[in-house]
Amino acid sequence: MLLAACGPSRSVTTYVAPLPVSRIDSILTASAAQYRLLARELPAGRFPRNWDPAAGKLNTSGSDWWCSGYYPGTLLYLYERTKDTALYREALRMLPLLEKEQHNTGTHDLGFMMFCSFGNALRIAPKPGYEDILVQSARSLATRYSPVTRSIRSWDSNKDEFLVIIDNMMNLELLFWASKHTGDSTFRNIALTHANTTIANHFRPDGSSYHVLNYDDKTGAVKQKRTAQGYSDASAWARGQAWGLYGFTVLYRETKGQRYLDQAVRIADFLLGHPRMPADGIPYWDFDAPAIPDAPRDASAAAIMASALLELRFYADGSFNASRYVQAAEKILVTLSSDAYRAAAGTNGGFLLRHSVGHLPAKSEVDVAITYADYYYVEALLRYRDALTYHPRKK
């Protein structure tokens, strides 16, 4: 990414980053101030979920909501770069509230909840008990695996349904960690089998994915391919595509299996080459939304994409793809860091980004600030900063 002359007789060509390190550091410092504001507004015992600008209201959740790990995770990411101890203290306040979810066998979202929080805490400032909490979280997640469907159940629903969503790819990282930490290959085998089943059934020829698959839990056959949060069963829900891109990039990191890299590249090709991808890199909430170009954009999907692309560049075959992924991530981060998406200081309830979409068909969390958008935005900024200073960051 950075080019310099090899001798005094040659002209100097230097890559000028659209977001130089000094600008990134300024954004992260401002983000730390925003999260101090969010901490002051947060009711005791609650986790931030979103900020609704229309209502001027902070909506919160209990620890069992699938996004509960993102707030402490973002605090830890910001502390890691800024060394703002107020953020670290706030993260330490939140982690005990989340700890009991290690025993939650009623959700597939334990990767989101526990690895984004305790995983980052273990990496940044290990404390006794973090490893045990993560191992137990992986055990709880593994209880949802079916050897018949060869996948991890996402949602508990009607007894004649075994529902698996593309989002579930994001929770496999916890299983890989647990396998390496304990030496128990069961966790790794579950993750690999789930990923293979997802490749076989979730994707269309163009590289896009369905949101929800319904399996027959007695035969393993696919009964239905549909959506819950997208425009239609056949559409490409933007955040779902981003989850797949990120998930299969992690799969390649953990396995070096070519099929996982190929899958990540196919998803990236679909996203970056799509004729309805806006020029600024922020996708519409669904690539097939009927109101395009007036459909809502989804900053959260863009942030996830940027972070995934900045890791995928390390594995890309040839400099063309690596450069393409970096340039796409740069474009996204420049846009998200502009006044159009990044909130002014002291506004937005303390959240960093505006204009995310949670569940548009249910009219839930539409055009709001949302906790996971902030998490992947900060993660992408940190990865991009590391790219500029030659220090690769994964997770």
The CA–CA distances, whole Å, from 315 to 42, 116, 196, 243 equal: 40, 23, 19, 18
Structure tokens at 129: 């008990």
| Listed residue (364, 382, 386, 385) closest to 374, CA to CA | 382
Count of beta carbons in the 10 Å neighbourhood of residue 288: 17
The answer to whether 373 and 300 have CB atoms below 8 angstroms apart is yes
Structure tokens at 344: 């002014």
d(CA 316, CA 356) in angstroms, rounded, equals: 29
Q: Which burial class, exposed, middle or buried, applies to 43 when counting CB atoms under 10 A from its CB (0-12, 13-18, 19+)? A: exposed
Peptide bond into 293 cis (omega under 30): yes
End-to-end CA distance of the chain: 21
- The contacts of residue 342 (CB under 8 Å, 6+ apart) are 27, 336, 352, 353, 354
DSSP result, 269-305: HHHHT-TTS-TTS--BSBTT-TTTTSSPB-HHHHHHH
Residue numbers annotated as active site: 109, 167
The answer to whether 111 and 141 have CB atoms below 8 angstroms apart is yes
d(CA 99, CA 92) in angstroms, rounded, equals: 11
Q: Specify the DSSP class assigned to residue 169.
A: G
